[in-house]
């Protein structure tokens, strides 16, 4: 990815995600529920949660949509930044990755 920018400002991240129909989500990747949450952003149809899904343990894979406040709490605690592609006319890239904030 040639041109990227690093975002840490909450409103800038919300705006970037909203312009791409993105929503905050958490995946629990730990063997025990609630011990190792991984942040994600999900987009478009992937953000739809089927209310008729069978119940499953919280850490059985998949993701849970969460409120931005909960998402940003983990984002800040872990000192993360969101690297995204710079906007280009006529394109809305969904490329993003989480990195540790510099120094």
pLDDT digits (tens, 9 = 90+) for 3-37: 999 999 999 999 999 999 999 999 877 666 655 78
Neighbours of 26 (CB within 10 A): 18
* pLDDT computed for residue 84 by the predictor: 96
Q: What is the DSSP secondary structure assignment for residue 27, as one 8-state letter?
A: E
pTM value? 0.79
Q: Where are the domains of the chain?
A: 2-98
* pLDDT computed for residue 103 by the predictor: 80
Taken as a whole, the chain contains a residue count of 103
Q: Are 20 and 97 in contact (CB under 8 A)?
A: no
* pLDDT computed for residue 11 by the predictor: 98
List the structure tokens of 32: 């025990």
């Amino acid at each position: 990815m040639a041109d990227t920018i690093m975002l840490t400002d909450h409103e800038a991240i919300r705006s970037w995600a909203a312009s791409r129909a993105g929503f905050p989500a958490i995946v629990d990747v730990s063997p025990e529920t609630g011990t190792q949450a991984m942040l994600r952003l999900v987009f478009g149809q992937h953000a739809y949660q089927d209310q008729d899904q069978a119940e499953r343990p919280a850490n059985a894979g998949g993701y849970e949509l969460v409120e931005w406040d909960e998402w940003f709490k983990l984002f800040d605690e872990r000192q993360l930044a969101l690297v995204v592609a710079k906007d280009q006319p006529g394109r809305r890239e969904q490329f993003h990755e989480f990195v540790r904030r510099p120094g």
